[in-house]
Chains A and B, each alone.
Chain A
Amino acid sequence: MLQYTVKRLPQLLLTLILASMFTFAMLRLVPGDIADVLAVQGAVSEADKAQIRQEQGLDAPLAIQYVQWVSRLVRGDFGHSYWTHLPVEALFAHAAPKTLELAVLAMAIGLVVGLPLGTLAGAFRGSLFDHAATFLAMSMIAVPTFALGLLALLVFSVRLQWLPATGSVVLASLVLGTDIAGTLVRTLRSDVRAELLADYVRTAHAKGLSPLTVLRRHVLPNSLGPTVTVMGLAAGHLLGGAVLIETIFNWPGLGSLMIDAIRNRDYPVVEAVVMVMTAAFVVVNFAVDLLYGMTDPRVRTP
């Protein structure tokens, strides 16, 4: 297992390096920088722009800028926001827990809704319940998150006034969790169904175990392998979805922070958020791979 882990680490590192290069290059390709932003606001003259670029090191060749940024990054120095003049770490300290809160809640909602629905839909394939669960799951996946978010906002906040329109983690996580629940139902339903047709299940039934026990003790644990993978991927989607949802619900997390930073060409903040999100995605999927490797020896066999 250790050998497997060590072999995966260079891949992990390479992913992060490529992500950093891509983020850095893409951001510099976007027209305008902080000096332009300040000039647009009328705060600095054309002459000042050159000096601002010099002060921020934006006039150096891209390769040098990149190396300087990476060397700061590895020392844990994310730099200062051009816009708020605050250390990026301070912005993170406020935003990251908010995104984490949203993601964990959304994941929890996804699991609470998706696990029983998917399991039961698979167990009672062809039943009315199965059809209803499948339809619900398809709807959850098919309706775009942003559309569902806007709809939920208008219904629950504006019309019914049950929940705040801004800064409501309940509504935001419900919307975000819906997509996960839908995906889980679809995956689990198929896997449970496939397991139910396996020989060992028939054997278990023949031994006199109750259908519920067979489902709980044998079918479900064996169906969760692919589900764990799906959850790993869903974690990545959660981060992506959070950008949209945080904007719709004005939830002050990393996504919202990044949108503002992109708008303001606040390079240090955008780069830091993208790198942290990428790292989180990579680490979660690495953990999933390890988990998978632990449960299925075939995976770690060369």
Chain B
Amino acid sequence: MSGEHSDRTYWSKSIGRRAILRGGALGGIGLTGAALIGCSGGGITDAKPASTTAPAAASAAAVRRGGKLMLSDIPQTQDFHRHSGTMPSPSLVADTPTAIDGKGATQNFMLERLEAPDASTYTLTFRPGIKFHNGREMTAEDVKKNIERIKATKGAWLKSIADITSNMTVSGANTITLKLSQPYSPMTALISELWLMAPESPGWDSTITTPIATGPFMWKQWIPNDKIILERFPDYWRKGQPYVDTVEIKNLKGDTTPALLAGDIHLATVGRDQRKLIQPNSGITFQQEKATSWQFLSFNNRKPRAPYNDIRVRQAIGYALDKAALNELANGDTGTVADQMAAPKSFYWSDKIVDPFAKPDLAKAKQLLDAAGAKNLRPVVPVNTTPKEPEAVAAQLKQIGVTADLQVADDITTETRLQAYEWDLYYAGSGTRSDIALRYVRMMSDGPNPGLWGGPQDADYDRLVKEAWASVDPEQRRQKYLDAWKVVTDKLFTIVVYHKANTTGIRKEIGGWETGAVANFARIDGGAAFAQLNG
């Protein structure tokens, strides 16, 4: 978590809030990506942040070209409009209008300019000369067709954004104006996952089988359940990049540490236990991701059974938790005890909020249970696959006489149970997101997959989040989010336990790799397009 302090420094030094406010709405929009990691962001005022060539550090003389970069991912589909969860692979093949940089801020990427006079109108001007892998130059018409396709595809990634795009006007070869049916300021951060592909990609009318896009690598072959082979795109618009000739993405399940150690892949996410097994002389170095995922204990909010609908019982459970012990068990030094959805010290985080559950207070917990008349509690706790942490939570609850009934099952079974709301407590985590809007939306009455947070249905919360989305002023938006968070803590929908940053193990053969604030393999300021294979 050490990066978060420096991120905050970056905020105050780099752009400055006033400068962003002077920049109008765009500055505010530029902050959206900062939510998770403690930075703020640079605001999208012009194209400067997104360099069009390789960075100075990788000057032509110093660059080592060629070779095969070996990665691991479990890709669901080669149709990037259809994937249904965060997937690092599309970024290797397809670029996006904006991008989340290494500090978590939203930057123009394919865009030369982005104008947003309000949170409902977005004019996107793309850089000229960006070519698809088939050699054709991309135009604003192509962007329009991509959004239309997403809108027409059930379950498509970013469909919610396409659905609220009520009108699209192409006003030049490279400019398109999107008019939204409702104000939505997270738009610019979220289009960092709008993978743009050529309409002539085979399968465009149903399922794309060979994506033709503008990214650093071209799609060569996909062997489902095995691997994907990509080749360097020589006409990539960021001149000079990428440096490796080929990328092989292996479809590896389970723990990928053995594959990393054996040299089958060049980098992998390694957990705390696996890190201990990797010898210092193995040639593997570690980098922490710049964004965090968060862990929490949720109550069933949609159909709470007595006495778990009693705030005193919820508080008692909160006082029984030993967050520091849970964090140590799961993360060690890559996690930090927390009490908010936004990462500690990030822009949307507040130091004004005092965590009542920062340390366990068993006496107070028992008092509250007595006051509520709650005895011999046996809360039903669904557990997905790995019970290590829920078992620790159960042991902590046992100290106040609460016996958790852990019901272990696989992911989908657990999720199905969660959505049936026949449970009392759920201990879970949620990953990094390109914008904090994607976290707040989950606790809305009609949010996607709200089961993890017990499906709250609270009109005040919904209203405040929508007001945050409509706010173009970052400070105002931050305050609205914090007000919404107060609803969560007042009613104890969920109790945040910790934030953690994933660790990536990188083999010595790889140079120039820098983990970012999003899971993408290729990013605006690091990742696969910058990677070089050492001698």
Contact = CB atoms under 8 A, between A and B. Distances in A.
Given A157-B258, A252-B226, 13 more contacts: A43-B84, A43-B155, A43-B448, A44-B448, A45-B448, A83-B77, A85-B79, A85-B82, A153-B258, A157-B262, A166-B250, A167-B264, A250-B253
Interface in B239-267: 250-254, 258-259, 261-265
A94 B415 CA distance: 31
A163 to B, nearest CB: 8
Nearest to A35: B155
Interface stretch (A131-139, A190-198, A255-263): A255-263
A32 B382 CA distance: 15
A167 B250 contact: yes
Nearest to A80: B207
Contacts of B227: 252
Nearest to A37: B412
A204 to B, nearest CB: 53
A164 interface: yes
Contacts of B251: 250, 252
A256 B227 CA distance: 13
Interface of A: 30-32, 36-45, 48, 51-52, 55, 83-86, 90-91, 94-95, 98, 153-154, 157-158, 161, 163-167, 247, 250, 252, 256-257, 259-260, 263-265
A86 B411 CA distance: 24
B59 interface: no
B449 A260 contact: no
A52 B159 CA distance: 15
Given A39-B449, A41-B84, A252-B223, A32 B415 contact: yes
Contact of A51 (B154, B225, B411): B154
Q: Which of A32, A51, A83, A167 lies at the interface centre, i.e. has the most chain B CB atoms within 10 A of its CB?
A: A32
Given A42-B449, A45-B446, A260 B253 contact: yes
B417 interface: yes
Chain B's interface size range is 35 or more
Given A250-B252, A252-B223, A256-B225, A263 B262 contact: no
A158 B226 CA distance: 21
Contacts of A265: 412
B224 interface: yes
A154 to B, nearest CB: 7
A154 B79 contact: no
B76 A84 contact: yes
A90 B262 CA distance: 30
Contacts of B252: 166, 250
Interface string B388-424: 0000000000000000000001111101110100000
A37 B413 CA distance: 9
Contacts of B172: none
Interface in B426-448: 442, 446, 448
Given A85-B207, A153-B258, A40 B82 contact: no
20 contacts: A39-B448, A40-B411, A40-B415, A40-B449, A42-B85, A42-B442, A43-B85, A43-B156, A44-B154, A85-B79, A94-B223, A158-B262, A163-B262, A164-B262, A164-B264, A166-B264, A167-B264, A250-B252, A252-B251, A257-B224
A198 B159 CA distance: 77
Nearest to A90: B224
A85 to B, nearest CB: 4
Contacts of B259: 164-166, 250
Interface in B42-101: 74, 76-77, 79, 82-85
